Amino acid sequence: MTLAIGRYDSPIGALAVATIGDRVVGIDLGGSPAGLETSLVRKAGYPESGTPSPAVVARLRRYFDGELDALDDIAVDPAGTPFQLRVWTALRDVRAGTTTSYSALARHIGTPNAVRAVGAANGANPIPIIIPCHRVIGADGRLVGYGGGLDRKRWLLAHEGVRSQLLL
C-alpha cells in the first residue's frame, strides 16, 4: 500500500493526516500536507500518493463531534526508536478525560529515571491526538509543552472533559 496525505479541517485548525491503508502514520498539527510528507519521507522513506483513508477521517470527525473513544483502536504505525515506541504505546493507555505526568509515564513503562527521555519521546510523537500526547501534564498539574501550542492542548483536554483550574 502507498502513503496517502491530505488535509482535515478540525475544530482546532487544519490537520494534515497521513495514512497507509487504514493505519495512521502521521498527523501534522500545522495542517501542512507538504511538511508532513517531507517529515515522513525523511524519517521512513515513504512515497506520497492519494488521499488519507476515509475511515480514519471519519473517526477523527466522530472524535471532534464528541465520541471520545472513536480514536482508541485506530491502527497506528509511527516511525521511532524502540524507546519512543514504548512511550507512544503507553500513551494510548491514557484514556480521554484523564491525564498523566511525564514521571508517571516513565514509571508505567518501567524506566522511572527516564523522565526527560519520556518527555523527549512525547515531544517527538508523529501522530498527535490519536497517540494522545496532549494528555501529559507537568507533575505539578500545570499544562506544559505541546507541539500544537498550549491553546490546542487546553481545547483538547476540555473537549475530553478534563476539569481543572489549569484549563481556564
pTM of the model: 0.89
Q: What tens digit of pLDDT does each residue of 73-125 get?
A: 999 999 999 999 999 999 999 999 999 999 999 999 999 999 999 999 999 99
Residues 90 and 55 in one domain: no
76 falls within a domain: no
β-pair type (3-10, 13-20): antiparallel
127: containing domain = 82-167
103 falls within a domain: yes
Q: What tens digit of pLDDT does each residue of 21-47 get?
A: 889 999 999 888 888 888 777 766 666
Look at residues 123, 135, 119, 147 and name the one whose alpha carbon lies nearest to residue 15. Answer: 147
Residues 31 and 94 in one domain: no
Residues 86 and 150 in one domain: yes
Q: Determine the average pLDDT of the residues in 138-150.
A: 86
Contact present, 13 and 29 (Cβ < 8 Å): yes
Annotation marks residue 133 as catalytic: yes
72 falls within a domain: no
Which residue of the set 18, 40, 106, 133 is catalytic?
133
